[in-house]
């Protein structure tokens, strides 16, 4: 069963982005539980909820970064579009298997999308947010 605990590594320091990231973690854990319980109806509901939360998140994060003047926003938008495309393909696959009463077969791929956003891409703007006064409260590793 897939389960992620919200790690301090996921924190960006921006309250709205961090709240969104927590909701996404809850969404994927909830989906995973439904798969484990073989509750297919709930699985479909939670699958939809996951896709909605990730799509909503990308847009909100981009607006926040745009408002703050993040200089590498175009590259970040591009990364989001790639993840979104991947998510849409998976959504299509999930809709196909619903008919057959199968649980979501792509939970690991969905988890990859979450980890790519949180760890691979969002770390790109952490120091920018810190400079803008949104601190995670963590000491930089070189100071330890």
CA distances in angstroms from 48 to 71, 76, 95, 137, listed in the order given = 33, 24, 10, 34
Q: Smallest gap, in angstroms, from Cβ of residue 125 to Fe ion?
A: 8
Q: Smallest gap, in angstroms, from Cβ of residue 117 to Fe ion?
A: 4
Q: Smallest gap, in angstroms, from Cβ of residue 30 to Fe ion?
A: 18
CA nearest to 23, candidates 41, 6, 42: 6
CB 50 within 8 A of CB 34: no
Nearer to Fe ion, 40 or 121 (CB): 121
Nearer to Fe ion, 121 or 128 (CB): 121
Alpha carbon 108 to its chain centroid, in Å, reads 13
Nearer to Fe ion, 47 or 113 (CB): 113
- Distance, in Å, from the CA atom of 111 to the CA atom of 2, rounded to the nearest integer, reads 8
Nearer to Fe ion, 95 or 115 (CB): 115
Q: Report the interface residues with Fe ion, using CB under 5 A.
A: 61, 117, 121-122
CA nearest to 12, candidates 142, 132, 143: 132
Q: Smallest gap, in angstroms, from Cβ of residue 38 to Fe ion?
A: 31
């Amino acid at each position: 069963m897939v389960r992620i605990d919200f790690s301090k590594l996921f924190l960006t320091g921006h309250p709205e982005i961090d709240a969104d990231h927590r909701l996404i973690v809850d969404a994927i854990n909830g989906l995973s539980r439904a798969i484990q319980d073989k509750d297919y109806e709930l699985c479909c509901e939670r699958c939809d909820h996951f896709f909605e939360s990730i799509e909503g998140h990308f847009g909100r994060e981009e607006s926040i970064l745009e408002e703050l003047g993040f200089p590498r926003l175009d590259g970040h938008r591009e990364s989001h579009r790639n993840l979104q495309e991947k998510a849409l393909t998976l959504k299509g696959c999930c809709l196909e298997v619903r008919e057959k009463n199968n649980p979501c077969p792509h939970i690991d791929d969905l988890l990859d999308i979450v980890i790519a956003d949180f760890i691979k891409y969002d770390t790109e703007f952490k120091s920018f947010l810190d400079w803008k006064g949104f601190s995670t409260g963590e000491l930089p590793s070189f100071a330890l």
